[in-house]
Amino acid sequence: MSSDPMYATLVAELDGEVAGMAGLRLLCGYEYDHPVAQISALVTKAAYRGRGVGKELIRHAEKWAKERGAAAIVLTSGNRPEREAAHRFYRHMGFSVTGQRFSKKL
């Protein structure tokens, strides 16, 4: 993935430590006329939450997406109760719930 221009890994550092990361990819889809960026991973270490790390990662992800002509940026999150804080954060950052994801192991 590191050599594929359709992917990017953003790493956030704070106080000389890795504080978080975002994994991005550019997708073509049937529902949009232009490419769409997907945040496929977004992690902030617990010790750094509430310090703006996630916000900066999303801001940089949006910049990366716009530079590549993306029409939208999407992410998927689990629906477990422990994900509620993350869901509030995503809404605060301007994301809205647009559907459900279904999965089946093969």
What are the sequence ranges of the domains in the chain? 7-92
Q: Which fold has domain 7-92?
A: Aminopeptidase (3.40.630)
- DSSP single-letter state for residue 83: G
CA distance 53 to 3: 25
Q: pLDDT tens, 47-103?
A: 999 999 999 999 999 999 999 999 999 999 988 998 999 999 999 999 999 888 888
HSE value, Cβ hemisphere, 13 Å, CA-based, for 54 = 21
Q: For the whole model, what pTM was predicted? A: 0.89
Question: What is the phi/psi pair of residue 86, to 5°?
Answer: -65, -40
